[in-house]
Amino acid sequence: MRIKSAVTEYPIQQVLAERWSPYGFDARPVSAADLCSLFEASRWAASSYNEQPWNFLVALKENPQEFERLLGCLVPGNQSWAKTAPVLVLGVVRQRFTKDNAENRAAVHDLGLAAGNLSIEASARGLSVHQMIGIVPEKARQIYNIPEHFEAWTAMAIGYKADVATMSEALRDRDETPRQRKPLAEFVFSGTWGLTSSFVRNSKH
pTM above 0.85, yes or no: yes
* 1 has pLDDT over 70: no
Nearest to 72 by CA among 56, 62, 59: 59
First-to-last alpha carbon distance for the chain, in angstroms, is 29
Domain-wise residue ranges, the chain:
21-178
Cα–Cα distance, 59 to 92 (Å, whole number): 14
Quick one: pLDDT band at residue 204, thresholds 50, 70, 90?
A: confident
Give the model's pLDDT for residue 205.
66
* 2 has pLDDT over 80: no
**Contact by Cβ (8 Å): 155, 74:** yes
Cα–Cα distance, 29 to 13 (Å, whole number): 27
Give the model's pLDDT for residue 24.
94
Cα–Cα distance, 140 to 91 (Å, whole number): 10
Give the model's pLDDT for residue 164.
83
| Alpha-carbon radius of gyration of the chain | 19
Give the model's pLDDT for residue 176.
80
> For the segment 31-72, what is each residue's pLDDT rounded down to a tens digit?
999 999 999 999 999 999 999 999 999 999 999 999 999 999
Give the model's pLDDT for residue 55.
98
Question: DSSP characters for 95-116?
Answer: -B-TTT--B-TTHHHHHHHHHH
Give the model's pLDDT for residue 144.
98
Beta bridge partners of residue 150, listed in sequence order: 94
Give the model's pLDDT for residue 131.
98
Give the model's pLDDT for residue 3.
66
Give the model's pLDDT for residue 28.
96
Question: DSSP characters for 146-160?
Answer: PPTTEEEEEEEEEEP
In this structure, which amino acid lies at residue 48? S
- Mean model confidence pLDDT for the chain: 94
Across the range 132-159, mean pLDDT stands at 98
Across the range 92-111, mean pLDDT stands at 97
Quick one: pLDDT band at residue 177, thresholds 50, 70, 90?
A: confident
CATH class of the 21-178 domain in this structure: alpha beta
165 contacts: CB under 8 Å, gap ≥ 6? none
* 118 has pLDDT over 90: yes
